[in-house]
Structure 1
């Protein structure tokens, strides 16, 4: 299967640092101003996308700030000109009609650079404290399947009549429809069987949590074997990057973050308390010592500039097209990656142009 060029994205710092919360080189900052500055700089540096995770309250430090995803996405759509803006969404929080309307509006504000990232959610406290039932894992995916089937049709400009277990919709059509392509892009994450089935049926891009190359290749092979309508499924990978001039320097930086992350033991205990035990992400993360969220350094992007570049190319050969990356300290490492790693990957002829979005 022919691959598109590699695209690089960055996780927006919506709830503070990704690796360690007590880092003197990365003070806690989840503010709008900080997020805006990060994404504007990422665009200037040539990054292709940003992912804005969705939490209503901070999942790490409940008394600390948490950026609101969809208002931030709309603002970033107006402030940027090239970078793709991907906003995460937990289906239980928004009715599909109103979410589809917001998605179309941000798509049109951005000029065709918007995507939604459907996630199943893992933090029960966020729901239960608001009086929203946090259903069983597979039942949440059944709900999400019905939800995205409605949203995707509305985003595509269809007149939708739908009668299902959760939604009753009659002759609903949203205007203006997408002015730039068939509809905004749909990203789906999660590695459980219901998540894989949903991605095969409804996603443009499947996000895989950071893990070793062989495991990622196996996951991609599984999804490629599944029946699918329309264009082939594409693949993205979450990963935490620590790249330095030498492998030794990179591992020193890694050990620094491991030591700092150990100071967050109480935070990790709280996460485990509220996490759905069926969430495969946490099962994967428990297999190795790593820093960062969503698999973090388990993807192995820790090493010299040449090593990290070569490993990115190896993941690309396995099928990964979008690398959604984490760094700490964020802005300094963004610049380092853009200055040292991206040129090495580009020299292999594999980096996509600064604006390279396919039609959904």
Structure 2
């Protein structure tokens, strides 16, 4: 019997750090103003993209750290109000907003947008970013807290009655969330390659995310995630994220890659004269999809 694969869904990226036409600059050629980001999201909607990923961080992560950075939730709310069809995948780091308050925030934005909100849970992130806001916690603590955060939100979204939740990191005592989100509410997306990340994805996420890699590298991550979903009696979907280098010709696009490896500053990149995987493995269309689930691709141009 031939297996029918669900149609892949393609998403775009909201550049809250700013962006531009060149790689490796310390300042954004296009700052992350509301007017510019509105143009990005409305163009993506007009072109038929499924959703928009809006990241989260506490200092500019693409240019000089002190460069302008649009705050994630405020900008997502404003941009949802000037669109009508495209979804928003909003990144969130548990620990900086109480789950009870966040459940209300997400439900309200979901109502405003007509049910177009999903949540990308990010227990980790850029090194040193948590400490900027006085948060010091280890890997295990962050993932345990993230699991309770998701569970508490879902508990509050079940019905308008008062809810209680007793966890090690999250506690609710007669908390309300009314009105709740539209329909079944936001989906939770989660990435990460550690055992803790894969376990949390299997127990709590709706979509497991990974950076796009050659199939022989990416496949085992998805296989491990499928096992974790199955252990929890659940079936998940899978997504891949990549950056695109867009030029008039393929040769011009590849010519940018050595310069980008040097700018990355990693010792591995500086030692290697070639990309970490073969050029052919990275060519568009050179490998098949790794699973039967929908692919929620997110991309940003470079």
The normalised TM-score by structure 1 is 0.72
CA distance in 1 between counterparts of 2:83 and 2:29 reads 25
- TM-score for the superposition, normalised by structure 2: 0.85
The answer to whether the 8 A contact 1:242-1:301 is kept is no
Alpha carbons of structure 1 residues 160 and 300: separation in structure 2 relative to 1, 3 Å: farther
Report if the CA contact (8 A) 2:6-2:294 is conserved. no
Structure 2: give runs of 5+ residues left out of the alignment. none
For 1:267-311, what per-residue CA distance to the aligned partner results, in whole angstroms no more than 9, with x for missing partners?
x79xxxxxxxxxxxxx9xx99976xxxx9x9997854xxxx2464
Counterpart mapping for 1:1-360 below 5 A: 3-17=5-19, 20-22=23-25, 27-60=29-62, 61-133=64-136, 135-157=137-159, 159-178=162-181, 180-226=182-228, 227=230, 232-242=235-245, 249-259=249-259, 262-263=262-263, 265=265, 303=283, 308-309=284-285, 311=287, 314-315=288-289, 317=291, 319=293, 321-328=295-302
Higher helix share: 1
Q: How far apart are residue 107 of structure 1 and its match?
A: 0.8
Partner Cα distance (2:34, 2:61) in 1: 17
Q: Helix, strand or coil: the match of 2:44?
A: helix
Q: Which has the higher contact order (CA 8 A, sep 6+)?
A: 1
Say if 1:211 and 1:299, in contact at 8 Å, map to a contact too: no
- Contact residue 22 and residue 260 of structure 1 kept, 8 A: no
Q: Deviations over 1:178-213 (max 9, x none)?
A: 2x3111111111111100000001111111122211
The number of equivalent residue pairs is 294
Contact between 2:156 and 2:163, CA under 8 Å: does it hold in 1?
yes
Is the contact between residue 107 and residue 114 of structure 1 (CA under 8 Å) also seen in structure 2? yes
| Structure 1 range deviating more: 198-207 or 157-166 | 157-166
**Contact in 1 for aligned 2:118/2:186 (Cα 8 Å):** yes
SS at match of 1:87: strand
| Aligned equivalent of 1:331 | none
Give the secondary-structure state (helix, strand or coil) at the position aligned to 1:64: coil
In the alignment, is the contact (CA less than 8 A) between 2:165 and 2:171 conserved in 1? yes
SS at match of 2:101: helix
Q: CA RMSD in A?
A: 3.2
